[in-house]
Amino acid sequence: MKNLFPSIRASIARILVEEHKLSRYEAAKVLGISPAAITYYLEGKRGDKLVSKLIGDPEIRIAVRKAARTLLELYTRASSRKSTIEYQLALCSVCSRINEIAAQNGCPALLLGVV
């Protein structure tokens, strides 16, 4: 998990910047982290261990895109604040999808090639 969560955040950061055309500053606001953290994610200095595997798997990429879209929608609500629970649920949706795929194909660690 210590490699998975940063990789999920890095994957979402990439989707927000590359597909939704957000600036690093805007992506940081959506994810509730610093712009420097976004830079680390995008430059592969943080969370890069599993990003290519997460985004490379078509089914997981769909889950990452959906999480990114959900976080963006939460951020753009009138309140401009997302609850911690909603944020966690968006990230958990990616893990849940990984677990569903793993249940069909084997262990999540094997699926992502970390063992």
Structural domain count, the chain: 1
pTM over 0.85: no
Q: Which two tokens stand for residue 101?
A: 């795929």
Classified as helix, coil or strand, 80 is coil
Q: Which two tokens stand for residue 26?
A: 């805007």
Residues 6+ apart with CB under 8 A from 60: 53, 54, 94, 97, 98, 101
109 pLDDT above the threshold of 80: no
Q: Which domain holds residue 85?
A: 4-112
- Among 40-44, 94-98, 104-108, the range with the most confident prediction by mean pLDDT is 40-44
Give the per-residue pLDDT at 78: 52
- Using alpha carbons only, give the angle 85, 87, 90 rounded to the nearest 5 degrees: 110
Give the per-residue pLDDT at 112: 57
Cα separation, 111 vs 93, in Å, equals: 17
For range 63-77, the mean pLDDT: 88
